[in-house]
Chains A and B, each alone.
Chain A
Amino acid sequence: MSDTQWETYEVFHQARRGDPHEHVGSVHAPDPEMALQLARDQFARRLKCVSIWVARSRDITMTDYQDESFFAQSTDKSYRDPKAFDAPAKTESE
């Protein structure tokens, strides 16, 4: 018998409108609509939530952990870091 596992969907959760959607985990589901419903049960029942995204895991293109050179920094680039001043977490208008 072939593998009867449903495929996996990655779940992204948003606690408040305007907040970024954050990756919270994954669910098995037969299709995107069921994935949303099952994600609601796994991740939105206790966490405050206003929106959920799901995406097929296989649709996500990712880097390879072996390929460290992808992120290599060969020369000193610290002058690019914004560390000479403090940026407030929120602006005044908020």
Chain B
Amino acid sequence: MLKLPALAFVAACLSACSVAPAGETVHDPFEAHNREIHAFNKSFIEKIPRGNGDGPGLPPEIKNRIVGFADTVSLPGMVLNGIMQGDVEGVVTNGFRFLFNSTVGVLGMFDPATTMGLVEHETDFGETLAVWGIQEGAYLEVAFLGPTTERALAGRVVDAIIDPLKFVGHPKRLEYATIGSLAAGAVKLSDASDTIDSVLVDSADSYAMLRLLYLQNRRYELRTTLPEESFDPYEGIYGGQ
């Protein structure tokens, strides 16, 4: 029932995906609103009790099981996106990862595929849209989800709708998958608490820093890093060519 409004939202986003002015690596026309959401997200994340990396927390073995399960339930979606991107290697790797880890790997709680050299090709519909030539659009910060772009957010909505997991396995799989993904999110959040602190607490302008880190890393993953991001500091000091 949610599908129609969601699809309408995606269509509206894509037709309206704003284009960055030439030479600018950050396109943030909604900055004032984004900053309000950032303040909310920051205060929310600071309230979550989390380990400092040294604390007792969960043993790494348990954490790996939780993250492994969440990765496995996301693999069918990644295979579908790989097909839409024409990424044969990614489809084969993720497909075999799903076959091995969901069976021999006991629903992904163990990861025999990686031991066999099948390292996950992480992907999503946002990447599919990028491969299809859709622009990145404006930078957005969304409540609870954090940093994203118009294209990546549209991709998340589509991924939820087209998730092929609903066609395979146990009837309760979607509920388990959601719980697994949330638990994995909590584990990743606690593991990254040092990094989160260093970005959110230690940065002079945590909004601008998170935006810059997210965009650089996202563009790297999509192989769309802008050439002007790598610059020559010697030009201007010793006189460039």
Do A and B belong to a common assembly? no
